[in-house]
Structure 1
Amino acid sequence: MTERDGAGSAAEGEFRRGWPIVLSALLGIGCGLAAVPFYTLGVFAPHLAREFGWSMGQIMGALTITTLALVVAGPIAGALCDRHGTRPVALVSLTLFGLSYLSLALLGGSLVQYYLTFLVIAFVGVGTLPITFTRTVNRWFERNRGLALGLAMMGTGLFGIVCKPVLAAVIAAHGWRAGFLALGALPLVVALPACFALFREPGRAAGAGGAAEVLPGLTRAEALRSWRFWLIAVVLLPISFALAGTVPNLEGILTDRGFTPATIVRLTPLIGLASIIGRLVGGWLLDRFWAPAVAFVILGMPAVSCVLLSAGGLQPGTGALAIVLIGFALGIEYDIVAYLTARYFGMRAYAAIYSLLYTCFAVGAGFAPLVFGMIRDRAQDYAPALLLAAVMLPVCSAAFLLLGRYPVAGTRQSG
């Protein structure tokens, strides 16, 4: 057997053993906090605006509330995963997340109630984020870690493809309250049973909880003293802002460009399809090329999309291209953060470190829809926000190139 054959056999063995983990992680992430509010709030926004008279900025402010909650809840969830294991955190969080999302069907005309509900959703749903699931995927996979992460994170893309047209049909037939009921049922009916049956950490029975073994890598305190941690954290803020501002506002952007509702319904699911392709292609690239270079290329490309979407006279074909480029980048953003965390800081305190970086990403992503909406309310156009994003993406993505070589596994970094 050649060395290549041996490597291929080892990689196949990883997937034979680890496919239940990838499948359950895919469903958990796809039906969780990372996907559900982000991909669906834009669908509900026109209905909430008509029902209660709220502005787009006020409606999108729910994502900002969610972000502020994650700043506190994310690191707590990471510490719980490192201490008690990911399985119990995921199961409890999926249950509470589904129940709390169901309560949105009871909304009245109070913005305070609206924001408080999303605050609760964020706190109880934090265990459904990739913070939890990628820790276990990283532990099951080594040779094909990037591809496995891409497959697991594909849940957000699959949700993005299916949710908008299905949710629009549910709302058209039964009203927006029924739409919230359908979304709340997803984690309870789909993700929770799958994770209960399949999701576990290496070497532990399905019902086991704790994570007593000491894994190689940096502690959280050591990572916080590393310049690489702070470089990643700082550049994630503007990158996430630029990427995340477009998606919840996409229906509004296309409406401003004169697209009909029927055309918008046809175009917007492309973002989910492109994100799936981005996760698969990006994961394959991460396993074979230097991750910072992959990040620079893929996360910088949507600058073209922002320029196209900001221009008048946008045609459906050009709009589709812009959406695909954004979706492709969205398909790899969380994968890159998870991959960089494992490669540069190891698995010893992976969830605690990744939760901090994820929080940085979430802060940028959470404030972006609100800021984009406020710019639209003031300027009567999304163009100024889109052009700002077009500058941020290539400049900040280039900073990943400063990270340098991966450290040798199991050793301490010198900086």
Structure 2
Amino acid sequence: MQFLILLRQAPRQLAFGALHSFGSSFGQTFLVALFVPFISASLALNETEFANIYAGITIASALCLPVVGRWIDKVDILSYSLATMALLALGCVMIALAGNVWMLITALFVLRLAGQGLMSHVSMTGIARYFSRNRGRALAIASFGFPLAEAIMPATLLALIAAFGWRYTYAGSAAFILLVLLPVAIWLIRSDAKFRKAPAKSGESATASGTARADSPESHPQSDHPRLFKSVYVWFCMPMLAAPPLIMTALFFHQGAISNSKGIDLGWFAAGFTVFAITSVLGAFGSGPLIDKHSARRLFPWHLIPMMVGIAILALTTTPWVILIYMGLVGITVGFATTLRTAIIPELVPLDEIGAVRSTLTAVMVLASAMGPAIYGWMFAADMSIATMLVVTLIAAAIVSLGSWFSERPGFYMPPNIAPKEAD
């Protein structure tokens, strides 16, 4: 019921967030992967060469994200959105025209930065700083664009590739972004000055209200580097942010090896992705009310538990249907993580630093996802068994969860004097 009330109160703002999470799919791995066989054949690349190029581009785009991502704190979010969509469309056109490897590298960099990075950034940052009392629910609604795209885009684009070829399909994707997504974004928030405007500097707001204290963060010049990263707290919590993308990307990437070692048909993992998609949505929507009631910081140390239970089940059994349970539990953690990792930021920093902090944390997660398959590949190279690898994964997840829980003890981090909440 609360979700429906929220949708009635702020339909355009929530639709703006969901539109961008949906549009991010054009730069997400699950969609780019559909084109890999066609691009590789066209440019005479083998699978290993393309994988190495893609990993390098992912890391490069992650390193650029903190620089470009912090601009969202300083400009009108609609202007930032339109620039991001234009960049995403440019990436699609560049891939459609790519005639050699260097053009492909440039195109993929633009596509990954704008799609996976900035489109998601616009969605989550805009919602996080606009909503306060119902922030968890709002983020859950805005994040619905991710699974919606995962459900409908692959089949749609595969049909278009079959009908028109991969180059025309990418060109058509650019047209869709410019002719559909961009005008809809303008229509949704064009007249909403409150949602669009960049948040005032915390120091400015405090000084204007006469509430700045000599010992408060507002009494000091604004730093180019968010204060959060000077605290012990964030370094205890950073592994928790990195764990889901690192572990899940690695396990999904190596699912063929896991299925072979356990004698389970790979089709069970394919079926498991349907369960994963459903439970990730349930996890995201279930986490929203809990965040609003208990706060993201209180929930954060516990959100890896479903994933850990799923990995433990996977480690202990060779029964095929248990894969569905494993994938379902992993989906719950991923759903919780989707909302928690953004909802926690406004609880730690002022509104005018959300974009800078979120882009940096997102870069950490992207780097972790790029490192995951390689780390597990090294374990394979060391002749470590699948069972041992899964046990090591469980121990690592338990350690980072314990560190995150320990960081909540008094004295580790006191948030700065965050600007007063505005009514939703």
Instruction: Give the alignment of 1:238-249 within 5 angstroms.
Output: 238-247=243-252
Structure 2 CA distance for aligned equivalents of residues 58 and 380 of structure 1? 26
Does structure 2 retain, via aligned residues, the 8 Å contact 1:104–1:180? yes
Does structure 2 retain, via aligned residues, the 8 Å contact 1:60–1:369? no
Structure 2 residue 178 is matched with structure 1 residue 188: yes
1:187 maps to amino acid: I
Instruction: Give the alignment of 1:3-402 within 5 angstroms.
Output: 15-32=7-24, 36-45=27-36, 52=44, 54-55=46-47, 58-59=50-51, 61-72=53-64, 74-107=65-98, 110=101, 112-125=102-115, 128-171=118-161, 176-177=166-167, 180-181=170-171, 183-199=173-189, 203-204=193-194, 211-212=199-200, 214=202, 220-247=225-252, 259=265, 266-307=271-312, 313=318, 315=320, 317-372=321-376, 388-401=392-405, 402=407
Does structure 1 retain, via aligned residues, the 8 Å contact 2:306–2:329? yes
Structure 2 gaps of 5+ residues are 207-216, 420-424
State the 1:25 CA deviation.
0.8
- Deviation per CA, 1:48-87, whole angstroms, max 9, x where unpaired? 6677452358426514422322222x22233211111322
Q: Do the aligned partners of residues 17 and 408 (structure 1) sit closer, same or farther apart at CA in structure 2, a change above 3 Å counting?
A: farther
State the 1:253 CA deviation.
5.8
Structure 1 CA distance for aligned equivalents of residues 95 and 163 of structure 2? 18
1:97 maps to amino acid: L
Sequence identity percentage: 18
Q: SS of the residue aligned with 1:142?
A: coil
Q: Do the aligned partners of residues 322 and 59 (structure 1) sit closer, same or farther apart at CA in structure 2, a change above 3 Å counting?
A: same
State the 1:344 CA deviation.
1.8
Q: Residue 5 of structure 1 corresponds to which residue in structure 2?
A: none
1:274 maps to amino acid: T
Does structure 2 retain, via aligned residues, the 8 Å contact 1:140–1:202? no
Does structure 1 retain, via aligned residues, the 8 Å contact 2:66–2:356? yes
The structure whose Rg is larger is 2
Q: Which moved more, 1:185-194 or 1:81-90?
A: 185-194
2:367 maps to amino acid: V
Structure 1 CA distance for aligned equivalents of residues 53 and 381 of structure 2? 13
Q: Which moved more, 1:379-388 or 1:59-68?
A: 379-388
State the 1:179 CA deviation.
5.5
Q: SS of the residue aligned with 2:351?
A: coil
Q: Residue 214 of structure 2 corresponds to which residue in structure 1?
A: none
Q: Do the aligned partners of residues 136 and 170 (structure 1) sit closer, same or farther apart at CA in structure 2, a change above 3 Å counting?
A: same
Does structure 2 retain, via aligned residues, the 8 Å contact 1:57–1:371? no
State the 1:152 CA deviation.
0.8
Q: TM-score, normalised by structure 1?
A: 0.78
Q: SS of the residue aligned with 1:84?
A: coil
Q: Which moved more, 1:335-344 or 1:177-186?
A: 177-186
Q: Residue 3 of structure 1 corresponds to which residue in structure 2?
A: none
Structure 2 CA distance for aligned equivalents of residues 89 and 172 of structure 1? 34
1:291 maps to amino acid: A
Q: Which moved more, 1:87-96 or 1:171-180?
A: 171-180
- Deviation per CA, 1:195-242, whole angstroms, max 9, x where unpaired? 21113696448xx66555646787544323222233333442344311
Q: Which moved more, 1:367-376 or 1:16-25?
A: 367-376
Structure 1 CA distance for aligned equivalents of residues 322 and 83 of structure 2? 43
State the 1:148 CA deviation.
0.4
Work out the number of aligned pairs and report it.
Answer: 397
Pairwise CA RMSD of aligned residues? 4.0
1:55 maps to amino acid: E
Q: Which moved more, 1:90-99 or 1:184-193?
A: 184-193
Does structure 2 retain, via aligned residues, the 8 Å contact 1:253–1:309? no
Does structure 2 retain, via aligned residues, the 8 Å contact 1:40–1:164? yes
